[in-house]
Amino acid sequence: MSASVTPETVSDGKSYYFVNRWVDFFMIGGISILAFFAILFTHGHLDKGTFIVAAFYLQWVINFPHFSATNYRFYSSKEHLMQYPVTAFVLPFVMLLGIYACIRFPALFAPYFASVYLLWSPYHFSAQSMGITMLYGARTGFFVGKRERLALSTFLFGSYIVMYLRAGASAFATVAKDQDATPLETLNALFFGVPYMYFDMPALLVSAVEAVTYAAGLIFIMFFFRACRRAGKMLPLFALMPMITHAFWFVLGYKFGLFIFVMFIPLFHSIQYLLVAWSVHINSKLMQESEMRPGRKVVMSETVYWIIANLLGGFLLFGVFPLLLIKLTGTSLLIAVAAVYAGVQIHHFFVDGVIWKLRNNNTLGSPLMWNINDLVTHREQQRQGK
């Protein structure tokens, strides 16, 4: 999700959750925070390989479908494609060129392509944290203005940059100096067998960025409490949930040396994303088809259809596509997987920037601001014309 949401507060009496307190809590950050503590207390006792295998299987049901969900929303409608023609028709060719160049020049091009992707990916996660904070801010009545945005973005992007630079430095130091580095440590400096570049920055500069980052985070929290004072009431603390979750991902995860937890960040990011993407899909699709509220059964069946479609889409993108490339070009599995992972995900960063701004002429308002209750409750009341 990109960071631009119209500051529009949900009308009084409407829930500021997409589904309800528990579903939103767990999907926006609860699962990340629980996983953090679970890994913190068990990582010394459990085999790291277990976590890696778990992450491998989970990405097929969480991470890959989240990429598919983006493409499904964008490419499933001609109306959507015509709103953003360059993203729809030129971008896929540019990304295919990048993937082809990785396969053609695995030692010369692929490392740079992987480096750009690996720097861009956490940037994208931070942009999503920004977007979701603003979204819940708008839903809860906490207006995120210009100054708030500056403080928030400094914290979100600063924490990712600091972790990226520090983790990169330590991983490369391990691989460069320690010939006996374990395969797990070597993984840090390799992206599916493709070595990637590390940006060497003076430690003092990184520490200075870190200090500014924490200060900005505190300032943003102060802005929140100032907004509460101005509103004359305590605004829902849930508005801070995405920021707190981000702090677990990019500050605490690294501070506690939990490489395993950091490895799961793409999954946590995808869980957040799927909640918003599902809500927007369900709302825009069902509200568009019928003036009547469709009810629980229709919502459930559309949800199941959406889940199956995206599981299949993820499998095609990350399972079939690399195998097809191997068949066509004779490249190795690792190079094909690295090229597809980087290419498809960079494509996702672009498409994600436009899908939240798509306009559906048959729907009312922004689907980002709706709640599931708009669809499943009060159907009878509506039938009776109340």
Partner 1 sequence: MSEDTTTLSETAAETVEETAAQAHNTLEAATGAVKETAAEAVEKITQMPDIVPFSDREIILTGALITIMVISLISFFLKNRADARTHVSLSMFSVLIGGFALFMAFKSAYPGSLLLDGIALFGLLCMFKLMNQFEVTGPPPKKDADKKSEEKT
Q: Does 84 bind partner 1 (CB under 8 A)?
A: yes
Cα–Cα distance for residue pair 234/112, rounded to 1 Å: 48
Q: How far is the CB of 132 from partner 1 (least distance, A)?
A: 15
Q: Binders of partner 1: how many residues, by CB under 8 A?
A: 36
User: Which CB sits closer to partner 1, 341 or 350?
Assistant: 350
Give the binding range for partner 1 (CB under 8 A) out of 30-38, 186-194, 195-203, 275-283.
195-203
Give the binding range for partner 1 (CB under 8 A) out of 59-67, 101-109, 135-143, 364-372.
101-109
User: Which CB sits closer to partner 1, 45 or 359?
Assistant: 359
Q: Which of 10, 101, 221, 228 binds partner 1 (CB under 8 A)?
A: 101
Cα–Cα distance for residue pair 176/190, rounded to 1 Å: 12
Q: Which residues contact 249 (CB under 8 A, 6 or more apart)?
A: 32, 125, 262, 265, 268
Q: Which of 199, 207, 225, 328 binds partner 1 (CB under 8 A)?
A: 199
Q: Does 60 bind partner 1 (CB under 8 A)?
A: no
Q: Does 353 bind partner 1 (CB under 8 A)?
A: yes
Q: Does 161 bind partner 1 (CB under 8 A)?
A: yes
Q: Which of 7, 49, 85, 145 binds partner 1 (CB under 8 A)?
A: 85
Cα–Cα distance for residue pair 201/48, rounded to 1 Å: 30
Q: Does 125 bind partner 1 (CB under 8 A)?
A: no
Q: Which of 47, 180, 200, 291 binds partner 1 (CB under 8 A)?
A: 200
Give the binding range for partner 1 (CB under 8 A) out of 187-195, 286-294, 323-331, 353-361.
353-361
Q: Does 83 bind partner 1 (CB under 8 A)?
A: yes
Helix axes 110-140, 91-104, angle to 10 degrees: 140
Q: Does 97 bind partner 1 (CB under 8 A)?
A: yes
Q: Does 77 bind partner 1 (CB under 8 A)?
A: no
Give the binding range for partner 1 (CB under 8 A) out of 30-38, 117-125, 304-312, 367-375.
117-125
Q: Does 82 bind partner 1 (CB under 8 A)?
A: yes
Q: Which of 75, 123, 143, 172 binds partner 1 (CB under 8 A)?
A: 123
Q: Does 4 bind partner 1 (CB under 8 A)?
A: yes
Q: How many CB atoms lie within 10 A of CB 45?
A: 6
Q: Does 208 bind partner 1 (CB under 8 A)?
A: no
Binding footprint of partner 1 on the chain (CB under 8 A): 2-4, 82-87, 90, 94, 97, 101, 105, 108-109, 112-113, 116, 119-120, 123, 127, 157, 161, 197, 199-202, 349-350, 353-354, 357, 359
